[in-house]
Every structure is written in C-alpha cells, then in structure tokens.
Amino acid sequence: MKNIYFSIIALLLFSSVAVSQSYQRCATTEYTNELIQNDPSTVDRMNQLEGAVQNWIRNNKDEVERNSGAVITIPVVVHVVYRTSSQNIPDSRIFSQIAVLNEDFRRTNSNASSTPAGFVGVAADTEIEFCLAVRDPFGAAHPGITRTQTSTNSFSTNNQIKYTATGGIDAWPTSQYLNIWVGPLGSQLLGYAQFPGSGSAATDGVVILHAAFGRNSPIANYNLGRTTTHEVGHYFNLRHIWGDSNCGNDQVSDTPTQQSSNFGCPFFPRVTCINGPNGDMFMNYMDYTDDACMNLFTAGQKIRMVGSINSSRAGLISSKGCDAPVVGIEPLSSYSLFELFPNPTSDKLNLNIQFTEQLDFEVDIINMLGESVANYTYKNTLGGEFEMDLITQPKGIYFARILVEDKVYSRKIIKD
C-alpha cells in the first residue's frame, strides 16, 4: 500500500533541525522517528489515520466552509514540572500562553497585519479555541494547572516528564484533555509534540521548555509563546511547512513548497523550490522562524486540523473539561469515606466503605483514555468490604470513581 502520509526513509534521511542554531526549535520529527524505530507498525497506524483525515476532509470541507462560526473549544491542562523555583513558572505566564493560543488560532494576533499581501487570501481563523480546564476528570473543580517538584535536572524526548514514576507527572485522560507538560528540557530543546495515532495514549500531548512558555518568557526570539502554537499545530496533525524534506510535501495545498526550514526572520520574498513570486511562507506558525516573525495558519491547515480533531481527537469536542463543575463533587483528595487496597494491585481491588444509613452507590474503574473498563453497582447497603476484579486489565494507571448520592469521590489505582 502506498504511504500517503510519509515514508520511514523520508523521516530518517532529513533532519528538521539546523545544527547551527543555538536552540533546537522543535524535536517532533526526531521524536516520531524514535517511535517508529521502537515500533515500525507506527507508520501503518499513521498512514491509516492520514487516510481517515483525507476522507473526512473530502466529505466535510464544503460544510466547514459554509458553517463558519462553529468554534471547537479544547480543554487544556498544564503540568508544570520543576526542580528550581525559576522553573516553577507563575500562573500569569500560563494564562498568557492560553491567550496566545487563542489569538494565533483565531487570527486575532497583534501582528496579523504583517502577513504579506500575497498570502492574506489564504490566512485563516481556524475557529479552534482553548480554555484552561475548570474541572478534573471526575468533575471536581480544578484550576487546570498541576505543579510537581522533581529531582530530575532536565528531560528529553524519552517522555520521562510524562510519568510520575520517572520524575514527571502522569497525564490526565488524553482523550478528554490536551495535556501540556512544561519543564526543564536538555539539549537546548524548546519543545515537541505527539502526532495523532503515533504513540501511547499515556504520552499524548505537548512538551514545552519552561523558559519558552508564555509571553515575556526569558529566551530572546522565542519569548512570545509561539513554540506552543507550533507544537499544538503538530498535535493537531500539521507537518512542518517544508514537509521535513528538500521541497517536501506538508499535505496542505495552500502552503507553498519550500526547500527547508527558515530561521530568524528572512526578507520577503524568499524564493526556493521555484515556488512563485511570494516564495516561502516563512511567517507560518509551522516554520522555524522567530516568534515575532510568525503570524498565520492557512485555510488548508485549518481544514486539516479540524479533520484531524474529528477523526482522531473527537473526545476533545465532547469533553466537559471547560464546563463549570457540578455542585456537590468532592475534590480528588477526599478519601475519608473509603479505603481501596491493595494499591498497587495485580488482580483484585478491595473497597472498604461505611455509611450511617442504607444507600445506593456505584464504582466506575476508568483507564487513561477516560474509558470505563469496569462498573459495579450496589443497592440499599450500609457498606462493608467489596471486591472488584482487575485481573483482565493491562498494567497501568486507572482511577476509581465512587458515586454516592450527589457526591463523587475518586482515587488513582496502579495495576502492576
């Protein structure tokens, strides 16, 4: 079968990073290469997803264009992982980054007027917005920001920042939230993202260097929050604008073919690959230019992102993460009514719960995808000790959600 997405050879032969740059603008291509090398079937999965995206675009492009104004809102949880106080960025920087994402994706960015006249006609409001989550996966009120102190000096593309066991923090259900990990990265790396369908659900999301996150971050040229805009573009299945090869294909028809990545802020026009009088679209968010130089997504990139969300990230559309929490739900740390043991467990999980009157209650076991894998309902009971079977479930992290009358209690479970 012909690979309509990309070939392994194309990925491995062409590096997306200019070695002469002091910072590595993006490691998404390298990260994807690692996933492919560890599991060659990754290419087949990504090609299948590409086929689904292209099919969705063929069937829905006209409707999306007619129904302009149908905004998709994405719930975001930001996981700050820090070793030093300077890495523990303030809420204000996080708020500013969410604002930058909304401005860039809705084309309300202050430098939108800098788009060259030759590209204005294809510049697009993607009608994708972002909110910091206001509830956790169980419906309890939450600010959408987690903070974890680590003993790790720096992280890399090995995903250790995404696991509590390796010095980071576990993801919230990745089918329901865009998880963004922010922390110290090594090798002068600014960030990387996981393409849809390319890796484990537990590692799905975006990773950004703390010093390049939000407005007025300390790295000159990368201090306007566009590293996150770029990586979220990858998360929604956008390729680098040069297609990660010499005059390559980014699967978008209205972005000019260009020879390779651009850095700094070139003079317009910069013509490569015989790409016409306007040359490279180096001000596109999916190039490598300075933050201040970037200013647009195109209509073609918009339909590709919307198609990818509907094909592979539809849970983000139905997520309740941006909805106000339900009154009466207890916070995640409220365990006073019950005990779960043993935890970690290899097969059985016991729940000890006691009531002062006869009540109905329900236990839902939820995996990292946000899916219910087991459900137990108990009627008219004073409580006691109840056994739940996890023996058929794979090793990993789960959550037990216990519903008692109008309250919800929750706890993390580890199956080893």
Residues 290 and 184 in one domain: yes
How many domains in the chain?
2
Residues 293 and 386 in one domain: no
Choice among 231, 330, 339, 385 that is catalytic: 231
Tell me whether residue 205 is in a domain: yes
Residues 345 and 259 in one domain: no
Q: End of a domain among 254, 286, 318?
A: 318
Could you tell me the CATH number of the domain that includes residue 394? 2.60.40.1930
pLDDT of residue 367: 75
Residues 280 and 371 in one domain: no
Mean pLDDT of the chain: 89
Residues 311 and 379 in one domain: no
pLDDT of residue 333: 37
Binned at pLDDT 50, 70 and 90, residue 100 comes out as very high
pLDDT of residue 43: 96
Instruction: Tell me the range of 10-14, 217-221, 327-331, 337-341 where mean pLDDT is highest.
Output: 217-221
pLDDT of residue 16: 33
Question: Which H helix or E strand runs over 365?
Answer: strand 348-366
Q: Which residue has the higher pLDDT, 67 or 188?
A: 188
Residue 371: is its pLDDT beyond 80? no
**Alpha carbon distance 339, 352 (integer Å):** 5
pLDDT of residue 339: 84
Residues 314 and 341 in one domain: no
Residues 187 and 39 in one domain: yes
Rg, C-alpha atoms of the chain: 23
Residues 293 and 258 in one domain: yes
| Segment 183-227, tens digit of pLDDT | 999 999 999 999 999 999 999 999 999 999 999 999 999 999 999
Tell me whether residue 226 is in a domain: yes
Q: 67-94 burial by CB neighbour count: b if 16+ within 10 A, else e? A: eeeeebbbbbbbbbbbbeeebbbeeebb
Q: Which of 9-18, 76-85, 145-154, 363-372 has the lowest mean pLDDT?
A: 9-18
Tell me whether residue 231 is in a domain: yes
Q: How far is residue 89 CA from its own chain's centroid?
A: 19
pLDDT of residue 105: 98
* 58, burial (CB in 10 Å: exposed 0-12, middle 13-18, buried 19+): exposed
pLDDT of residue 244: 96
Residues 306 and 361 in one domain: no
Binned at pLDDT 50, 70 and 90, residue 383 comes out as confident
pLDDT of residue 159: 98
Residue 414: is its pLDDT beyond 90? no
* Residues 272, 279 contacting (CB under 8 angstroms): yes
Tell me whether residue 330 is in a domain: no
Range of the domain at 351: 337-415
Is 231 assigned a catalytic role?
Answer: yes
**Alpha carbon distance 82, 147 (integer Å):** 8
pLDDT of residue 139: 82
Residues 358 and 307 in one domain: no
Could you tell me the CATH number of the domain that includes residue 221? 3.40.390.10
Residues 129 and 184 in one domain: yes
pLDDT of residue 6: 47
pLDDT of residue 112: 98
Q: Which residue has the higher pLDDT, 85 or 399?
A: 85
pLDDT of residue 107: 98
